[in-house]
Structure 1
Amino acid sequence: MIDVVERVDVVAPAAVVWAAVTDWHNQGAWMLGTRVRVVGGDGRSVGSRLWARTGVGPLGFTDRMEITRWEPPVACEVAHVGGLVRGTGGFRVEARGVSRSTLVWWERLTPPFGVAGNLAWKVTGPAFRLGVRHSLRRFADFAEARA
Structure 2
Amino acid sequence: MSSNHIAISLKINAPIQKVWDSLAQWEKQGEWMLQTKVWVTSEITEGVGTSINAFTGVGPLGVLDSMTVTSWQPPHTCDVLHTGKIIKGTGRFHLREISSDTTIFDWSEEVIAPRVLFLAMLPALYIGVRISLSRFARTFR
| Short-chain TM bin | over 0.9
More helix by share: 1
Deviation of residue 131 (structure 1)? 0.8
CA distance in 1, matches of 2:6, 2:117: 16
The amino acid of 1:137's aligned partner reads S
- Deviations along 1:112-142, one digit per CA (max 9) or x if unpaired, are xxxxx43222221111111111111101012
Q: Does residue 109 of structure 1 match 2:134?
A: no
Is the Cα–Cα contact under 8 Å of residues 36 and 51 in structure 1 kept in the other structure? Answer: yes
CA distance in 2, matches of 1:69, 1:43: 14
**RMSD of aligned residue pairs (Cα, Å):** 1.0
Q: Does residue 89 of structure 1 match 2:86?
A: no
Deviation of residue 69 (structure 1)? 0.2
Partner of 1:35: 37
Is the Cα–Cα contact under 8 Å of residues 50 and 66 in structure 1 kept in the other structure? Answer: yes
Aligned pairs for 1:54-133 within 5 A: 54-111=56-113, 117-133=114-130
| Uncovered stretches (5+) of structure 2, i.e. residues with no partner | none
Number of positions where the alignment pairs a residue of Structure 1 with one of Structure 2: 139
Where in structure 1 do 4 or more consecutive aligned residues deviate above 6 Å? Answer: none
CA distance in 2, matches of 1:104, 1:95: 11
Deviation of residue 50 (structure 1)? 0.5
CA distance in 1, matches of 2:41, 2:18: 24
CA distance in 2, matches of 1:52, 1:41: 16
Is the Cα–Cα contact under 8 Å of residues 49 and 67 in structure 1 kept in the other structure? Answer: yes
TM-score, length of structure 1 as denominator length: 0.90
| Uncovered stretches (5+) of structure 1, i.e. residues with no partner | 112-116
The amino acid of 1:134's aligned partner reads I
Which SS does the other structure have where 1:96 is aligned?
A: strand
Is the Cα–Cα contact under 8 Å of residues 67 and 79 in structure 1 kept in the other structure? Answer: yes
Partner of 2:15: 13
Deviation of residue 21 (structure 1)? 1.2
Is the Cα–Cα contact under 8 Å of residues 41 and 47 in structure 1 kept in the other structure? Answer: no
CA distance in 2, matches of 1:47, 1:23: 15
Which SS does the other structure have where 1:40 is aligned?
A: coil
Is the Cα–Cα contact under 8 Å of residues 25 and 35 in structure 1 kept in the other structure? Answer: yes
The amino acid of 2:103's aligned partner reads S
